Amino acid sequence: MTFTFVTLFSNLVEGYFNDSILKRAMEKNLFSVKYLNPREFSLNKHSKVDDTAVGGGAGMVMNPQPLFDALDSLRKEDENVHIIFLTPVAKPFVQNDAKRLSSKSHIAFVSGRYEGIDERVIEKYADEVFSIGDYILTGGELASLVICDAVSRNIDGVLGNSDSLTIESFESALLEAPSFSKPKLYEGLNVPSEYLKGNHSKIRSLKIALSECKTKFFRPDELKKHCQGVK
């Protein structure tokens, strides 16, 4: 699998792959990461990539030409590339998208900057458009990384223990039960006593009850879906 980050600021992205799980996955060739800078495709003599908005409005908008040419070159190189644009106005990215996208062979993330990207680019090249939440970031790089991280941990072999993927929040309507580490008693705080007794069926029942409490507290909307049998 290949991830291509189409960005004016690849240095904002690169560091994320220099450590931990994703670094190890790349060393095992489970996926690779490439960068494409639209500025390198600009035909402007000063390599400009943005201009004022047609029709007025604050701020600069990313021009179509450098992005058209960059994305044409990407599609020419690999006609199967799945091109995702990041924008705050799109549908929110969710765990099912992460799982579905992990079977693609090549995903490109197109990051906007300034006031965003000329809409014609999105209309022409987007296979999919995502937001990562109802707030405005300065650029799409963080949003691209969020999606790339969530997708890549669903690629076979990336996580040491694939069970981590099945017993997780958002796999069903119930959030994952609280987790505890050692020591069993720390600064007067105990882990639930049932967890210590080794009766796995009782631990399972307790975890389900705790999952329900946690979901009721943090995500009553998800619990409602669970009760209605939607998930």
Binding residues for ligand SAM (CB under 6 A): 86-89, 111-113, 115-117, 131-133, 135-140, 143
Q: How far apart are CA 73 and CA 37, in angstroms?
A: 12
Name the residue number minimizing CB distance to ligand SAM: 112
The distance of closest approach from Cβ of residue 176 to ligand SAM in the complex, given in angstroms and rounded to an integer, is 25
Length of the chain measured in residues: 231
Task: Give whichever of 66 and 116 is closer to ligand SAM, judged by the CB atom.
Answer: 116
**Least distance CB 115 / ligand SAM (angstroms):** 4
CA 225 distance to own-chain centroid = 23
Smaller CB separation from ligand SAM, 131 or 154: 131
Query: Which among 108, 211, 138 has a CA at the least distance from the CA of 168?
Result: 211
Strand partners, 117: 62
Nearer to ligand SAM, 95 or 162 (CB): 95
What's the min distance (Å) between Cβ of 194 and ligand SAM?
Answer: 41
Q: Where are the alpha helices (DSSP H) in 126-219?
A: 141-152, 163-166, 200-218
For ligand SAM, the closer of residues 30 and 142 by Cβ is: 142
List, in sequence order, every residue forming a beta bridge with 52; answer none if it has no partner: 60
Cβ-based nearer residue to ligand SAM, 22 or 132 = 132
Measured torsion, CA atoms of residues 82, 92, 149, 161, in degrees rounded to the nearest 10: -110
CB of 121 to ligand SAM, least distance (A): 11
51 phi/psi in degrees, rounded to 5: -155, 170
Q: Closest approach of Cβ 57 to ligand SAM, in Å?
A: 9
